[in-house]
């Protein structure tokens, strides 16, 4: 059984396309083209990710992905999966290079600040605020560093290090 932790959210089934069970998935991506030739996806049904195989598909209007799944042949079949989330395994994500990264990818990385030195290990990414934050554990203290492009100097994937330069005093705020 595929777990959600091993997957990323690709989009949601938003409507039926025909009386033959076709559905339209609204893709949540800047690069819908990458997903044009998918053979299968995972559909989130009652908190289980179930594999569905794609018989045929077409990309219309950039992020609208029209799909005919195997064994979804009627409107009733399509109704059963309406509004369901669509997921893909993480290993299908396009590889990012340079200073671009996926949130899940940098958990466990060590953050080193040019002025401060080693800050600690990234525990999670807080993206509930307008500006996503690295949540860093420094010997039991939580340090939050905004994920601002100007702050992020280098991502060293091999050594699991993110080099940052933050405004003076920012890190100390969390350590008093």
Query: What CATH number is given to the structural domain containing 82?
Result: 2.40.30.60
pLDDT class for 110, splitting at 50, 70, 90?
very high
User: Are 84 and 123 within one domain?
Assistant: no
Please report whether residue 156 resides in a domain. Answer: yes
Q: Please tell me the least confidently modeled range out of 80-84, 115-119, 129-133, 170-174.
A: 129-133
Please report whether residue 165 resides in a domain. Answer: yes
Query: What CATH number is given to the structural domain containing 170?
Result: 2.30.30.240
Please report whether residue 98 resides in a domain. Answer: no
User: Are 14 and 59 within one domain?
Assistant: yes
**Which of residues 58, 73, 92 is at a domain's end?**
92
Q: Please tell me the least confidently modeled range out of 1-5, 50-54, 131-135.
A: 1-5
**Which of residues 59, 92, 125 is at a domain's end?**
92
User: Are 72 and 116 within one domain?
Assistant: no
- Please write the tens of the pLDDT for every residue from 74-98: 999 999 999 999 999 988 887 888 8
User: Are 109 and 44 within one domain?
Assistant: no
To the nearest whole number, what is the mean pLDDT of the chain? 92
What one-character-per-residue DSSP string does the chain give?
---GGGEEEEEEEEEE-STTS-EEEEE--S-GGGGTT-SEEEEEETTEEEEEEEEEEEEETTTEEEEEETT--SHHHHHHTTT-EEEEEGGGSPPP-TT---GGGGTTPEEEETTTEEEEEEEEEE-SSSS-EEEEEETTEEEEEE--TTTEEEEETTTTEEEE---TTTTGGGT-
User: Are 59 and 124 within one domain?
Assistant: no
Q: What is the pLDDT of residue 19?
A: 87
**Which of residues 67, 92, 117 is at a domain's end?**
92
- Please write the tens of the pLDDT for every residue from 17-37: 988 999 999 998 878 888 888
Q: Whole domain around residue 14: which residue ranges? A: 4-92
Q: What percent of the chain has pLDDT over 70?
A: 100
What total of structural domains would you count in the chain?
Answer: 2
User: Are 72 and 152 within one domain?
Assistant: no
User: Are 168 and 141 within one domain?
Assistant: yes
> What pTM was computed for the model?
0.63
Q: What average pLDDT does this structure show over 113-127? A: 94
């Amino acid at each position: 059984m595929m777990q959600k932790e091993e997957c990323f959210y690709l989009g949601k089934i938003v409507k039926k396309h025909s009386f033959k069970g076709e559905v339209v998935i609204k893709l949540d991506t800047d690069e819908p083209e990458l997903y044009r030739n998918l053979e299968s996806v995972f559909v989130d049904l009652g908190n289980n990710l179930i594999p569905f195989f794609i018989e045929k598909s077409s990309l219309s209007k950039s992020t609208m992905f029209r799909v005919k799944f195997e064994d979804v042949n009627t409107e009733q079949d399509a109704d059963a999966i309406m509004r369901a989330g669509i997921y893909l395994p993480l290993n299908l994500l396009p590889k990012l290079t340079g200073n671009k990264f996926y949130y899940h990818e940098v958990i466990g990385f060590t953050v080193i600040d040019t002025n401060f030195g080693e800050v600690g290990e990234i525990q999670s990414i807080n993206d509930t605020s307008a500006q996503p934050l690295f949540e860093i554990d420094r010997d039991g203290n939580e340090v939050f560093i905004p994920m601002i492009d100007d702050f992020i100097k280098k991502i060293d994937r091999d050594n699991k290090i993110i080099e940052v330069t933050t405004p003076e005093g920012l890190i100390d705020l969390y350590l008093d």
